[in-house]
Amino acid sequence: VIRCQSTNTDEPKTRNLLDNASNLLTSLLSGGGLGSMPIAEGAVSDLFGRPLFFSLYDWFLEHGSVYKLAFGPKAFVVISDPIVARHILRENAFSYDKGVLADILEPIMGKGLIPADLGIWKQRRRVIAPGFHSLYLEAMVKIFTDCSERSTLKFEQLLEREDSLGRNVIELDLEAEFSNLALDIIGLGVFNYDFGSVTKESPVIKETDVEKLQQRDYSNLKDASLLRFLVDMRGADADDGQLRDDLMTMLIAGHETTAAVLTWSIFLLAQNPSKMKKAQAEIDTVLGQGRPTFDLLKKLEYIRLIVVEALRLYPQPPLLIRRALKSDVLPGGYKGDKDGYAIPSGTDIFISLYNLHRSPYFWDSPNEFEPERFLVQRKNEEIEGWAGFDPSRSPGALYPNEIISDFAFLPFGGGPRKCVGDQFALMESTVALAMLLQKFDVELKASPELVELVTGATIHTKNGLWCKLRKRSNVH
C-alpha cells in the first residue's frame, strides 16, 4: 500500500512516488517485469569490432524476441517481434518518446520532428506531413531526374576519358557518389538550394553553404520546396527557430538514408548479375533511352522491389529507439510469452528492424536477396496475433509496407511517427537506380566480404563501395 499525501501530481517527489507505484502495480498484474526477462550477457566485449546490430541479432536467436541488454548500470529492452513492435509503435505509441535518440539529436535537430517530444510533434506533424502532397512529389521527380543525370553525365565523361586511353572501365566509390547525389536532391527538395556536390571537388556541406542558407530571404522564393510550403503555412505556433529545426531535420533524415539504400541496392545487385539484367530489362521496356516521369515511375515495379528488399536486408536506421513515458504492459509475443512483460516508466527500448527483417520466424531464406519475395503472398496463419502478409490490407500501396506485413516489415517505421518522406525517398531511389542501370553495368571492384559495415544512424561501409562501371553492352 502506498500512501501519498500530496495532491500536486506535478511535484517531482510525488511524480516519482506515483511512477514507482504504477510500475509496481503493472509488474504485479502482468506475468512478469523486467526481472523475469531473458538477459543478454557477456555483452560489452561483444560490442567491440563489429556493429551493435549484429550482436543484437545473435542474442535474438539465443534469448528470443524480447530480451534485456545490460551495459553496466544501463539496460535496454530489445524487441524483435512484430506484435510487440506494433504495440509500441502504433497501439500505444503515445506512451513512448525518442528517449536516448532525442538526447543525441537535440544539438543538430533541435525540436525537429524526429527528436520532438509529443507536444511539439503533434503541432508540427500536422503542418509538415501535408507538404508531401502529390504535386510536390511530381515536381520532385523532375529534380530527381535532373540530379541523377548530372551523376550519369559525370560518369560518362570519366569513361570517355578512359576510352581515349584504350580502357573501357572506371573505378568509383559509389557510396560517395550516392551521398553527393542524395545531398543535392534533398537540398533542392527541402530548401530549393543547390549544394552542387556531384560536380564539386570536395563535396561536403561547407560553412559557407550553411551561412547562405541562414541568410536567404525566404519570403521571396518561388519554388516547390518544403521550405516554401512551410513558410506559406506558417501559423502562430512556429517561430524561425522551429522552422530551422524542421528543415534541418528533413535535410539530415533524407540524406544519409537514401544514400545508404542506393549503396546497398548496388552492393546486392552486383552480387546477383541475373537480377541486375532483369532490372535493366524492365528499365529498357519502361523507359527505353528516355527519362523517368512521375507516371512512368509506377511501372518500374522491379526496381522498386529491389530498393525495398535492400531496405529489408539493410534497414535505415537498423534500430528504432524509444523510452517509456509511463508504465506499460507489452503484449505476449509470437513465441508463447503469453502474458507479456511489464515495462516500468523510463525503460529504454530498441526495436531492432534488422532482427525483424531477418527473422527466421517470418521470412523464408531471410538472408537472401530476393526482391521477388514480395510478390508471393504469405499468410502464416499459425502465428497467433499476427495477421500475416496481405496486400489487400493496403490497396494501391506504392510498396510492401508495415500494414501489408502487419509490422513484420518496417522499411519506414510505422504508426504515428512513421517517416513523412517515404514516397519521396522511394521515388528518388527508384529514379537514381534506374538512371544508373539504364546506362551502366556495375561490378564490385573487390570481393563482397571485403566490404566492411559500420553504423552511425545508418548502415554504411568502412572504406567506400568501390565499383567498376562500364557502358552497358546489352541495351535493347
Write out the residues near ligand HEM by the rule CB under 6 A: 113-114, 125, 249-250, 253-254, 257-258, 261, 311, 316, 320, 412-413, 417, 419-421, 424-425
Toward ligand HEM, which CB reaches closer, 192 or 316? 316
d(CA 76, CA 309): 28
Toward ligand HEM, which CB reaches closer, 98 or 439? 98
Toward ligand HEM, which CB reaches closer, 63 or 267? 267
Closest approach, Cβ 302 to ligand HEM, in A, equals 18
Q: In what order do the strands lie in the sheet with 348-352?
A: 39-40, 66-71, 74-79, 348-352, 319-324, 96-97
Coil vs helix vs strand at 414: coil
Toward ligand HEM, which CB reaches closer, 287 or 351? 351
In contact, 341 and 330? CB cutoff 8 Å = yes
Closest approach, Cβ 323 to ligand HEM, in A, equals 11
Toward ligand HEM, which CB reaches closer, 26 or 53? 53
Coil vs helix vs strand at 209: helix
Greatest distance between any 2 Cα atoms in the chain: 87
Query: Angle at the Cα of 355 (from 331 to 32), degrees rounded to 5?
Result: 30
Give burial (CB, 10 Å; 0-12/13-18/19+) of 376.
exposed
Closest approach, Cβ 114 to ligand HEM, in A, equals 4
Ranked by CB distance to ligand HEM, the top (closest) residue is 421
Closest approach, Cβ 455 to ligand HEM, in A, equals 14
- Tell me which residue has cell 535492400: 310
Closest approach, Cβ 221 to ligand HEM, in A, equals 17
No. of helices (H) and no. of strands (E), the chain: 16, 13
Toward ligand HEM, which CB reaches closer, 55 or 225? 225
| Residue 172 dihedral angles phi and psi, to the nearest 5° | -140, 150
d(CA 128, CA 151): 30
Closest approach, Cβ 98 to ligand HEM, in A, equals 6
273 preceded by cis ω (within 30°)? no
Toward ligand HEM, which CB reaches closer, 238 or 250? 250
Toward ligand HEM, which CB reaches closer, 91 or 160? 91
Listed in sequence order, the DSSP H helices in 332-421 are 353-357
Closest approach, Cβ 261 to ligand HEM, in A, equals 4
Closest approach, Cβ 129 to ligand HEM, in A, equals 8
Closest approach, Cβ 463 to ligand HEM, in A, equals 22
Listed in sequence order, the DSSP H helices in 314-413 are 353-357
Toward ligand HEM, which CB reaches closer, 283 or 310? 310
Closest approach, Cβ 82 to ligand HEM, in A, equals 15
Toward ligand HEM, which CB reaches closer, 69 or 419? 419
For residue 384 the three cell numbers come to 497467433
For residue 135 the three cell numbers come to 504535386
Instruction: Name the nearest CA neighbour of 36 among 48, 45, 47, 27.
Output: 27
Listed in sequence order, the DSSP H helices in 318-450 are 353-357, 422-439
Helix axes 422-439, 240-270, angle to 10 degrees: 40
Closest approach, Cβ 474 to ligand HEM, in A, equals 29
In contact, 360 and 57? CB cutoff 8 Å = no
Closest approach, Cβ 418 to ligand HEM, in A, equals 6
d(CA 336, CA 119): 36
In contact, 437 and 471? CB cutoff 8 Å = no
Toward ligand HEM, which CB reaches closer, 90 or 299? 90
d(CA 469, CA 168): 9
d(CA 303, CA 300): 6
**Helix (H), strand (E) at residue 459:** strand 459-461
Toward ligand HEM, which CB reaches closer, 178 or 412? 412
Count Cα atoms within 13 angstroms, Cβ side, for 125: 16
